[in-house]
């Protein structure tokens, strides 16, 4: 029986995955590297530095640690500019209602985002009060697909991992949830996230009724 729901942020609660993509594409194009939505799938859910490493591998580029830090900062500056222009209404439709229903049914809620900007995004959207626990990229050592972030969320929630359900839009996130011993709802197109236990286009389509029916 599910006792807690753990939500990823970017691409699950709000369309910020689009802003990460726009910023990475801008950087990749500056470096002369081809970068489309297809390549971007590999970056979803992983840390900023790991994302940059993947892009540099795609372009067969080797840079110094200093150069990499500068590029990662540049990407982040663009991303922060994009989210500062974001409206609170950019939260996906039905997300607040889903979180309210989860709480009303006595289940706990955690946020588990690899992003170091998660706090800013959550505050901009005004949804901080929905979460019993918030874990972000500043609190972990290993990025998804490592299970660390979900195990830490479960520990802080004081709920056994087998009683947690994860909502994820990233391959790396689905893998991390499974490695943590949790079931996972995959958010995305039908051809994506084939390993997820359940699949929907938007988080609210997997409602409290479905959550409660998991045995
Ligand atoms: C994840 C996103 O939530 O956070 C990734 O899916 C992003 O695309 C990662 O790279 C790290 O984000 P940030 O804000 O710390 O650069
Ligand atoms: Mg995501």
Confidence of residue 191 (pLDDT cuts 50, 70, 90): confident
Q: In CATH, what number is assigned to the domain containing residue 54?
A: 1.10.150.240
Ligand 1 centre and the CA of 74: distance in Å?
14
Confidence of residue 39 (pLDDT cuts 50, 70, 90): very high
Tens of pLDDT along 40-75? 999 999 999 999 999 999 999 999 999 999 999 999
How far apart are the C-alpha atoms of 109 and 121, rounded to whole Å?
Answer: 17
How far apart are the C-alpha atoms of 157 and 103, rounded to whole Å?
Answer: 13
How far apart are the C-alpha atoms of 52 and 34, rounded to whole Å?
Answer: 14
Res 192: pLDDT: 86
Domain end among 67, 83, 99: 83
Tens of pLDDT along 71-86? 999 999 999 999 999 9
Average pLDDT over residues 9-24: 97
Ligand 1 atom nearest residue 79's Cα: 14
Contact by Cβ (8 Å): 131, 112: no
How far apart are the C-alpha atoms of 196 and 171, rounded to whole Å?
Answer: 9
Q: What is the pTM of this model?
A: 0.96
Residues 78 and 125 in one domain: no
Domain range for 175 is: 4-14+88-213
Ligand 1 centre and the CA of 60: distance in Å?
22
DSSP per residue, 186-205: EES-TTS-TTSSEEESSGGG
Ligand 1 atom nearest residue 51's Cα: 10
Instruction: Please confirm, yes or no, whether 136 is among the known catalytic residues.
Output: no
Please report, rounded to a whole number, the percentage of residues in the chain having pLDDT higher than 70.
Answer: 100
Contact by Cβ (8 Å): 6, 159: no
Domain end among 37, 55, 83: 83
Ligand 2 centre and the CA of 195: distance in Å?
16
Contact by Cβ (8 Å): 159, 166: no
Instruction: Please confirm, yes or no, whether 8 is among the known catalytic residues.
Output: yes
Confidence of residue 190 (pLDDT cuts 50, 70, 90): confident
Domain end among 83, 113, 140: 83
Q: In CATH, what number is assigned to the domain containing residue 127?
A: 3.40.50.1000
> How many domains does one find in the chain?
2
Long-range contacts of 184-191 (CB under 8 A, 24+ apart): 187/11, 187/12, 188/11
Tens of pLDDT along 112-136? 999 999 999 999 999 999 999 999 9
Residues 8 and 65 in one domain: no
């Amino acid at each position: 029986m599910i006792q807690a729901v753990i939500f990823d942020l970017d691409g699950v609660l709000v369309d910020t995955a689009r802003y990460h993509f726009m910023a990475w594409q801008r950087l990749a194009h500056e470096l002369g590297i081809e970068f489309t939505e297809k390549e971007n799938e590999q970056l979803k859910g992983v840390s900023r530095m790991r994302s940059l490493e993947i892009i540099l591998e795609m372009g067969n580029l080797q840079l110094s640690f200093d150069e990499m830090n500068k590029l990662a900062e540049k990407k982040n500056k663009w991303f922060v500019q994009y989210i500062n222009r974001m409206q609170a209404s950019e939260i996906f439709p039905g997300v607040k209602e889903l979180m309210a229903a989860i709480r009303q049914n006595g289940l706990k809620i955690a946020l588990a985002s690899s992003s170091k900007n998660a706090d800013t995004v959550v505050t901009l959207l005004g949804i901080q009060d929905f979460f019993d626990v918030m874990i972000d990229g500043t609190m972990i050592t290993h990025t998804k697909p490592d299970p660390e972030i979900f195990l830490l969320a479960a520990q802080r929630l004081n709920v056994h991992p087998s009683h947690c359900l994860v909502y994820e839009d990233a391959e790396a996130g689905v893998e991390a949830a499974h490695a943590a011993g949790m079931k996972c709802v995959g958010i995305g197109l039908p051809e994506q996230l084939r390993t997820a236990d359940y699949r929907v286009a938007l988080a609210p389509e997997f409602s409290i009724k479905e959550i409660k029916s998991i045995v």
